[in-house]
Amino acid sequence: KWHDGDELLGSFSLEFTLTIIPTLPLLIRYEDDCASNNKCPECGGDCDNDKHCDYGLICSQRQGIEEVPGCAGAGESGKDYCSYPRTSNTLVI
């Protein structure tokens, strides 16, 4: 039984592992293609060049259903999507 003034003898430790699984946005093909006056957000398409994407994004050019950095899904074959530029294996945000 614990009484006021009693001391805890010994020691203990607590360990845990926190796993964070990021959720990537899905590729979205808009009815109206991206344009300089209709910029697409991250993972949005179909873009033809970087000027068709929101600030800081690039137009990831594809031939088929290649992966788009930072986006999930296959999207529409041959369509290009806006994404953040990838430098080596690091996603730059």
pLDDT at 32: 85
Q: What DSSP designation does 50 have?
A: G
Per-residue pLDDT of 21-33, as tens digits, reads 778 888 989 888 8
Which is more confident, 8 or 51? Answer: 51
| pLDDT score of 8 | 66
Question: Which residue intervals of 22-92 are DSSP H helices?
Answer: none
Position with higher pLDDT, 66 vs 10? 66
Question: Is residue 82 predicted with pLDDT exceeding 90?
Answer: yes
